């Protein structure tokens, strides 16, 4: 099992490397287009704004760990091909890595497609993490939805009274 510090803004690749594991990905899709109404609302973008969409299966030491879907604002990357193994590395190189994020976590049951990708059974428990990342100037840079099998991930947060 992997413990993920829920209070620290880091990428999947950074998390896996910090735990001595080797992160890899398999692309499921990479597209470019314009924002959907839902994306426009969440990212505070106007209609017709260009975005990049990425969907991939994330692995640690060859084991499927997450299905990750991300929408990135068009200004944040030079091209769709700028993203290799790590989206955050590409955003860093482009000078648009998020410095803060809002995250929401909730439980779900895997559907047939999700289960097949993650090597799990349909209706197995999973965790869905939605993240909305922001730049230092307050602009939203991207949003993502990651689905983790419940058997592989624990989310940990340190809570303070301050």
Secondary structure of the chain in the HEC alphabet?
CEEEECCCCCCHHHHHHHCCCCEEEEEEEEEEEECCHHHHHHHCCCCCCEEEEEEEEEEECCEEEEEEEEEEEHHHCCCHHHCCCCHHHHHHHCCCCCCEEEEEEEEEECCHHHHHHHCCCCCCEEEEEEEEEECCCCCEEEEEEEEEECCCEEEECCCCCC
Extract the tokens encoding 83: 């993203």
How far is the C-alpha of 100 from the C-alpha of 40, rounded, in Å?
19
**Sign of dihedral through CA atoms 145, 42, 40, 94?**
negative
Q: Encode pLDDT of 23-64 as tens digits.
A: 889 999 999 999 999 999 999 999 999 999 999 999 999 999
pTM of the full structure: 0.87
Q: Encode pLDDT of 99-130 as tens digits.
A: 999 999 999 999 999 999 999 999 999 999 99
The confidence score (pLDDT) of residue 12 equals 78
The residue assigned the tokens 């990428």 is 11
Of the pLDDT bands very low, low, confident and very high (cuts 50, 70, 90), residue 71 is very high
Burial string for 25-56 (b: 16+ CB within 10 Å, else e) reads: beeeeeeeeebeeebbebbebeeeeebbbbeb
How far is the C-alpha of 31 from the C-alpha of 50, rounded, in Å?
11
Closest CA to 51 of 68, 30, 24, 66: 30
The confidence score (pLDDT) of residue 151 equals 80
Q: Encode pLDDT of 72-108 as tens digits.
A: 999 999 999 999 888 999 999 999 999 999 999 999 9
The confidence score (pLDDT) of residue 150 equals 86
The residue assigned the tokens 């197995």 is 124
């Amino acid at each position: 099992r992997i413990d993920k510090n829920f209070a620290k803004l880091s990428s999947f690749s950074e998390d896996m490397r910090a735990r001595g594991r080797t992160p890899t990905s398999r692309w499921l899709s990479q597209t470019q287009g314009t924002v959907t109404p839902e994306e426009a609302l969440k990212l505070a973008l106007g209609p017709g704004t260009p975005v990049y969409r990425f969907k991939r299966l994330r692995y640690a030491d060859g084991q499927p760990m997450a299905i990750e879907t991300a929408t990135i604002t068009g200004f944040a990357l030079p091209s769709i091909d700028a993203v290799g193994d790590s989206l955050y590395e590409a955003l860093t190189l482009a000078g648009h890595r998020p410095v803060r994020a809002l995250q929401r976590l909730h439980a779900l049951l895997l559907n047939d497609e999700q289960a097949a990708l993650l090597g799990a059974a349909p209706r197995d428990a999973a965790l869905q993490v939605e993240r909305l990342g922001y730049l230092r100037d307050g602009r939203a840079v991207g949003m993502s939805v990651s689905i983790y099998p419940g058997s592989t991930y624990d989310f940990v947060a340190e809570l303070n009274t301050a």
